[in-house]
């Protein structure tokens, strides 16, 4: 699950402590991604107009890969502004 934009350092530290000395590598890839927020009562229709993916059963707090235009992107249904997102 994604984290808040201001929590990257704290979350990285928390996960690092959990990894400990196991054979694992933790990498912050935040800079490799961008975020586009689509919110409001028409958000589903807007996304559906540019995607072949089905957004009708996309529950809050879920995340999945979807087609958007010519690209495959990760869509996460989460918003804290009181609207669909």
75: tokens are 């869509």
pLDDT per residue as tens digits for the range 13-58 = 888 888 877 788 888 887 888 888 888 888 888 888 999 988 888 8
Euclidean distance between CA atoms 4 and 73, whole angstroms: 19
On whether the pTM is more than 0.85, the answer is no
Interior angle at CA 36, CA 74 and CA 38, nearest 5? 95
């Amino acid at each position: 699950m994604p984290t808040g934009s201001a929590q990257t350092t704290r979350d990285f530290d928390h996960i690092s402590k959990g990894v400990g000395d196991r054979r694992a590598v933790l990498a912050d890839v935040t800079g490799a991604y961008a975020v586009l927020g689509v919110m409001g009562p028409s958000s589903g229709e807007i996304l559906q107009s540019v995607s072949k993916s089905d957004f009708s059963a996309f529950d809050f707090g879920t995340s999945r890969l979807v087609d958007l235009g010519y690209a495959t992107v990760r869509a996460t249904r989460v918003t804290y502004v009181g609207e669909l997102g």
